[in-house]
Structure formats: C-alpha cells, structure tokens
C-alpha cells in the first residue's frame, strides 16, 4: 500500500513535522504476499526499515517497512520516530487485522494492541505510549479450527486477494486525506464508508 502513494517527490529535508506511515509485516520472499504482508516495501534502508521520504500533497511524508520480524517491529519504528523527533500523533501504523472481514479497513487515532505482536512491540518501544494512529487492514478469521499462526502465513486465495487489491486504493486515499483533512475528520468519514462495506462482506466466504 505504501508504495502506491502517488505524487511523491523524494527529498532529504522537510520544513515541518512529517507524517510517518509504517507498514508492518515479515521480511523476505518467504512471507511475500502472505496475510501478514499486505503492503509493498520502500527502496533504501534506515533504522532497520526499507524507507522513503518525500512530499505528498505538499506535506512531508516518511514511508517505512520494518525489516525485523513482525514481533520485533518496534525495534525499527521506535528509533525512526525518535530520529525524526516525531510526536506520536504524526505516526500511522498499517497492520493486518483478523477481527475485520477480509478487505475491510478501519482508521483509528489511537488504541490498544489487541494481542497483535507487531503492535505490542511498537507500543513497548514507544515506552507504553499508545497515542499513535492505526490503519487496520482486515484479513478475516481462519476457517474452522485452523491455527491462526498458520493462517497468517498463508498466501491469499483468489477471492481474498481480489478484496485486498480493491482495498489498497481505499487505504491510500485515506492516508492522503489524513494529510489534507487531518486524522480525526478523515477517520470519521472513512470509517463510516467502511462500515457499510463491513456489513456487506462479513457474511461472504473467502
């Protein structure tokens, strides 16, 4: 999702606090396109992350994809936020969420970790502070008695992949709206739209 943000002119400096958009996932070809990896990486390394920086809609933006494993994500995200001296209300973490139907998104200004190991690590490296935004990307629940860990490391089937592909532009639009309208207003409008999608998709098989 991160690499699909258009109109990004890469640079080395910014005049205001930039936004940091972080996509959590596991590194390497083994995990590519699995349910734990629903974003695409950047092209240089900084603070244990594939990284890019530039301007979107004239706003300074940092894009990062930690190259630690999911449960160590904070080892990258914490130092990145500290290096750029970012207030946590300028950080948005994108992550997979089994509590949402596949392809449904939610934007939240803050919250807990909901037993997500990547978020646990981020919160730990933010010294317990949870005042950062999250873009939750629904991947659905495992079928039957399937082990959730095995489910997370599976590749998407055609139906699920189609839903994820359709959701990515919606997520990009939400992130661009955060830059122009702010987090609170964007979350209000975006989540209202996604609520109807949730109702439509929650009973459909993937």
- Output the six-digit token pair for 43: 């092209």
For residue 68, the Cα-to-chain-centroid distance in whole angstroms is 15
- Three-state DSSP state, 106: strand
Give me the active site residues, please.
Answer: 36
- Output the six-digit token pair for 4: 């699909």
Closest CA to 53 of 88, 125, 2, 122: 2
For residue 157, the Cα-to-chain-centroid distance in whole angstroms is 21
Strands 91-97 and 133-138: parallel
């Amino acid at each position: 999702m991160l690499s699909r943000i258009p109109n990004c002119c890469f640079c080395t400096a910014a005049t205001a606090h930039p936004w940091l958009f972080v996509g959590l996932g596991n590194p390497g070809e083994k995990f590519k396109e699995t349910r734990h990896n629903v974003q695409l990486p950047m092209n240089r390394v900084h603070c244990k992350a594939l990284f890019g920086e530039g301007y979107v809609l004239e706003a300074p933006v940092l894009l990062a994809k930690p190259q630690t494993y999911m449960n160590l994500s904070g080892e990258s995200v914490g130092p990145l936020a500290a290096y750029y001296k970012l207030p946590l209300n300028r950080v948005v973490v994108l992550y997979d969420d089994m509590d949402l139907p596949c392809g449904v998104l939610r934007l939240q200004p803050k919250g807990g970790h909901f037993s997500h190991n990547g978020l646990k690590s981020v919160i730990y490296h933010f010294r317990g502070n949870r005042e950062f935004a999250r873009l939750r990307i629904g991947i659905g629940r495992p079928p039957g008695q399937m082990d959730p860990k095995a489910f997370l490391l599976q590749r998407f089937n055609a139906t699920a992949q189609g839903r994820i592909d359709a959701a990515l532009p919606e997520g990009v639009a939400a992130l661009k709206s955060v830059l122009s309208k702010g987090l609170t207003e964007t979350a209000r409008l975006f989540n209202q739209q996604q609520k109807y999608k949730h109702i439509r998709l929650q009973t459909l098989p993937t």
